[in-house]
Structure 1
């Protein structure tokens, strides 16, 4: 027999086929170095034959066993887990002589149909959301089931940072309805009802794909027939088994981007500046009117105050004009006498400064420096048009009146 004639199987599938665990769990065991082939630690993706000895934690995995498929009518209060130390676990309830595990979950307070098997490959195919396999539930709530409630539930409900897929919802009684889902988010039905203010009183899964609870009392179980399994295998034939069942339907931790400060600041900016989802509505604009009036009133009061100050300042200069006239006249003579000590550039710079200050002021009265600056500015303008006369130093004599 040549190497090509030997049938090789991927290691994770080989372990899964023995019923030891699912493929994803087998991958974890391989990554952790807990799996050996003929005493050697293999790499991911290694293939094995029936002649190889595959061991997990130092113990050879048993030969392929007959695949088991069980349908259980789970009572309320039983936990869907393989952890035997947890009181009221589903494995102890069935007490089967072969290692099995549940396909999916059913909340502890919920009851109804659930599958158990030792076939790790079919678990993922049944649970994968993209395969749209139906699961039917009967739900009793604390309030009257209305048409609006049924339509909203069927349309899709925002929970767990997503929106549930459209589903079929029908009324079965005043406080009871039937819902058919094709996905299995964590506590999906309870969260959907809570979104609309309804509390679930009881929840029973009545069907999974082509299997119902007919003939099964609460707590009873039975093996699925070959015909039923043929139908299930036909339904999942094109299904991918890449998604791990144990990971499916769990709340995924929020990523850093979902908590990023940038997103929060962006929303704050929208709310502050009025765009995006926080853009002001007509009602909001109307509610902002009092604030606008407040600032308008204060602007008018401030303007009135400035005018009053300007009037008082003007009156002050008017009343003191006579007293200052002689001082200004004397200053003019002094400036004319001492102007030779300043360069034209310095005088022009001072004139520009005084001019700028004058433009910035509001009704600012003339000052000593502004008068001097205006006169020097006029002299500079005349100097450009005709040559300046030579300056002669002399003594200034003031005449008394």
Structure 2
């Protein structure tokens, strides 16, 4: 089979990540550098960064409470990478990254296809966060966040946002733009002080201590599989909405581009005036 599929089924990484490793020259097959599309057999000797890879029989899904400061990368040259931090005996790969400055729920698995199914942006899987900001959360702010905010040349999907405390809120996203919550808050004149992911689909962080991990339960795996299959069937039937369930559709901004000043960052007074004027 193709090398990228082999590595995916071996639980090493996703197919896309495998292709990137090939392009970086980090994979050897029987002593020779791998090429994109290379075919391999079970007898092939595959090395990634000098470490031999074998398909694992045991399938695992880990629920990990990532601390702040730990980076979501499989590059072991990065000092505080998540793989070295958990030091799990079977090679695992994260499903859905968290920023280095963020904490909370991170799923790790050796099931490459599971990663692919969960991370497809069009599937709209829910991810829930609790966020603390630098000033009081207002109803206007909550409404603007839930309606959709222009960032990165688009408008974010409608989402569910509820107030938690004077300076904190809970948000459920169905997309994963780069540093999305931080950018949304920044556009509205807020600065994120703490960002914690507490749920991915049906899997919850619960009271798992920071830096600790546990194996997903059989019930969690069964429900996760059911949700994935249901979503995939809905997508094939054209029933998957691009918004949070119950929210009003938000049309893509098309040619909209975030103004240069916004990308570079407006000072808080300018942001506040824009927010008060436009909502």
Using structure 1 for the length normalisation, give the TM-score: 0.52
CA contact (8 A) 2:23 2:35 kept: no
Q: Residue in 1 aligned with 2:162?
A: 170
- 1:218 corresponding residue in structure 2: 210
Per the TM alignment, residue 108 of structure 1 is displaced from its structure 2 partner at its CA by 1.5
- 1:93 deviation in Å? 2.0
> Is the CA contact 1:74–1:111 (under 8 Å) kept in the aligned structure 2?
yes
Gaps of 5+ in 2: 234-254, 258-279
Cα deviation, residue 16, structure 1: 1.6
**Residue among 41, 44, 51 paired with 1:54:** 44
Query: 1: distance between equivalents of 2:188 and 2:52?
Result: 53
1:216-365 correspondence runs (5 A): 216-237=208-229, 239=232
Query: RMSD between aligned alpha carbons?
Result: 3.1
The residue aligned with 2:56 is 64
In structure 2, the CA distance between the partners of 1:145 and 1:40, relative to structure 1 (3 Å rule), is closer
Rounded to whole Å, the distance in 2 between the matches of 1:11 and 1:142 is 48
**Corresponding residue SS for 2:88:** coil
Distance in 2 separating the partners of 1:41 and 1:61: 14
Structure 1 or 2, whichever has the larger Rg, is 1
Partner residue of 2:6 out of 9, 14, 17 = 14
CA distance in 1 between partners of 2:152 and 2:178 (Å):
8
Q: Indicate conservation of the 8 Å contact 1:36/1:42, yes or no.
A: no
Q: 1:44 aligns with which of 37, 43, 65?
A: 37
Higher helix share: 1
Of Structure 1 and Structure 2, which has the larger fraction of its residues in strand? Answer: 2
For 2:217 and 2:54, the matched residues in 1 are separated by 25
Task: Report how far residue 35 of structure 1 moved.
Answer: 6.1
Cα distance in 1 for residues equivalent to 2:154 and 2:106? 25
Q: CA offsets, 1:43-64, max 9 Å, x none?
A: 8385x66xx5233359864243
* Partners of 1:30 and 1:44 within 8 A in 2: no
- How far apart, in 2, do the equivalents of 1:59 and 1:111 lie? 29
Partner of 2:72: 80
Q: Is the 8 A contact 2:97 2:106 kept in 1?
A: yes
Task: Could you tell me which runs of 5 or more consecutive residues in structure 1 were left unpaired when the two chains were aligned.
Answer: 1-8, 241-256, 260-401
* Whole-angstrom CA distance in 1 between matches of 2:74 and 2:29: 24
* In structure 1, C-alpha distance between the alignment counterparts of 2:36 and 2:176, rounded to whole Å: 34
1:65 CA drift (Å): 3.0
What is the alpha-carbon distance in structure 2 between the residues aligned to residue 62 and residue 40 of structure 1? 17
What secondary structure does 1:54 align onto? Answer: coil
Could you report, residue by residue, the CA deviation over 1:304-335 in whole angstroms, capped at 9, with x for unpaired residues? xxxxxxxxxxxxxxxxxxxxxxxxxxxxxxxx
Name the CA distance, whole Å, in 2 between partners of 1:40 and 1:77.
34
**What is the CA–CA distance in structure 1 between the aligned matches of 2:126 and 2:143, rounded to whole Å?**
19
* Number of aligned residue pairs: 232
TM-score when scaled to structure 2? Answer: 0.73
Question: Are the aligned partners of 1:35 and 1:42 in contact in 2 as well (CA < 8 Å)?
Answer: no
Displacement of 1:120: 1.5
Match of 2:89 in 1: 97
CA distance in 2, matches of 1:175, 1:28: 41
